[in-house]
Amino acid sequence: METQLKSERNGQINIVLQDRHIMRSHHESVQQEQKKDPFTNIDQAFTSFIGLHDLKQSIKEIYAVKMINEKRGNFGLKHTNQVLHMLFKGNPGTGKTTMARKLAELYHNMNLLSKGHLIEAERADLVGEYIGQTAQKTKAIVKKAMGGILFVDEAYSLGRGGEKDFGKEAIDTLVKHMEDHHNDFVLILAGYPYEMERFLTLNPGLKSRFPFIVEFKDYDTEQLIEIAERMAQEREYKLTREAKWVLKAQIKQELLQKKINFANARYIRNIIEHAIRMQAMRLMMHNHVSHEDLIHLTAPDFKLDTLKSLSE
């Protein structure tokens, strides 16, 4: 048994006994689980994400190569560092930015990146207004992102403006740093699917510099309902069965219209936050409110006419 002494504020000493055998057994069980499945940590990191099975498989491959390279190094065999630059294609609210943050954390845990932070940038952060300024701004952003991930959303905006636009200079500068610093720097370019495909044609060889091109597909009805339930749970709320019916009917209607600007998970977040406000207004009219009343979002909180206005 392991004995610890803890001093309390009142001056008393509490004796805490810890069974070393129990602690050791727990540690050994964790190690055995990892030996059985070396990708357990990656699977756990992806538990909060819906879909993206291909990306998860790619991350497992990256991790496997990392570990095998270390073993090759122990035997004096040659090994090369992996190029991890990625291109994300997807509509709004499909999790591109969230995934970039998660990858920065994962790569740091895998010792692929020294810092594991994420720097988000857009056209205004990279493109200058006069000759020479763009290269300086872009280099400064890359320097800030060293050891982590530089995430450029709506990257296709760099290709707008024609030949005289400085966006092309930003692209060329990024390409150079992708090659020079790939050992401790990852660039992720993201944007709408069609626009990103067109963007890749603007710079010869640009597409080949991204070994990982990830498609973030729109969520279907069941996935969006699952996202809604998760968002509610995070806020310590639950959707009643009737509330789910109303929400599902509205989601199906939205998906049938095939709106180009449909915001996926962002749309669901707006709905959940609006329902919480509606529930609060409803409960304000009650003299007595129970615990169940406080946690349940009901059908009246998801009025169809109100939900329609949120999507317009």
Q: Are 231 and 212 in contact (CB under 8 A)?
A: no
6: pLDDT strictly greater than 50:
no
- pLDDT at 305 (0 to 100): 67
Nearest to 210 by CA among 187, 235, 233, 244: 187
- pLDDT at 306 (0 to 100): 61
Q: Are 214 and 86 in contact (CB under 8 A)?
A: yes
3-state helix, strand, coil in the chain (%, to 5): 55, 15, 30
187: pLDDT strictly greater than 80:
yes
Share of the chain above pLDDT 70, in %: 84
Euclidean distance between CA atoms 62 and 51, whole angstroms: 19
The amino acid present at 53, given as its one-letter code, is H
Report strand pairing: 212-216 vs 238-239.
unpaired
- pLDDT at 281 (0 to 100): 95
Nearest to 143 by CA among 158, 164, 121: 121
- pLDDT at 146 (0 to 100): 97
168: pLDDT strictly greater than 50:
yes
- Run of H or E residues at 35: helix 20-36
User: Any long-range contacts for 66-73 (C-beta under 8 Å, 24+ apart)?
Assistant: 66/110, 66/111, 66/112, 67/38
CB atoms within 10 A of CB 85: 20
pLDDT band at 202 (very low <50, low <70, confident <90, very high): confident
Nearest to 105 by CA among 155, 49, 181, 172: 49
Residue pointed to by tokens 């449909």: 262
Mean pLDDT, to the nearest integer, of 182-208?
Answer: 88
Q: What is the rounded radius of gyration, in angstroms, for the C-alpha atoms of the chain? A: 25
173: pLDDT strictly greater than 50:
yes
pLDDT band at 51 (very low <50, low <70, confident <90, very high): confident
The amino acid present at 179, given as its one-letter code, is E
Q: Poorest-confidence range of 132-136, 158-162, 264-268, 287-291?
A: 158-162
- pLDDT at 12 (0 to 100): 46
pLDDT band at 293 (very low <50, low <70, confident <90, very high): very high
DSSP letters of 126-149? H--SSTTHHHHHHHHHHHHHTTSE
Q: Poorest-confidence range of 2-6, 59-63, 180-184, 306-310?
A: 2-6
Three-state DSSP state, 59? helix
Three-state DSSP state, 24? helix
Q: Please give the span between the terminal C-alpha atoms of the chain, in angstroms, as a whole number.
A: 65
Nearest to 53 by CA among 191, 211, 217: 217
- pLDDT at 162 (0 to 100): 60
93: pLDDT strictly greater than 70:
yes
**pTM score, two decimals?**
0.80
- pLDDT at 10 (0 to 100): 47
Q: Poorest-confidence range of 54-58, 132-136, 250-254, 300-304?
A: 300-304
Q: Are 214 and 54 in contact (CB under 8 A)?
A: yes
99: pLDDT strictly greater than 90:
yes
Instruction: Pick the most confident of 125-129, 206-210, 282-286.
Output: 282-286
pLDDT band at 112 (very low <50, low <70, confident <90, very high): very high
- pLDDT at 166 (0 to 100): 86
Handedness of CA 217, 223, 224, 230 (dihedral sign): negative
- pLDDT at 15 (0 to 100): 41
- pLDDT at 11 (0 to 100): 45
Orientation angle between helical segments 265-283 and 221-234, nearest 10 degrees: 50
Query: Between residues 35 and 137, which one has the greater pLDDT?
Result: 137
pLDDT band at 261 (very low <50, low <70, confident <90, very high): low
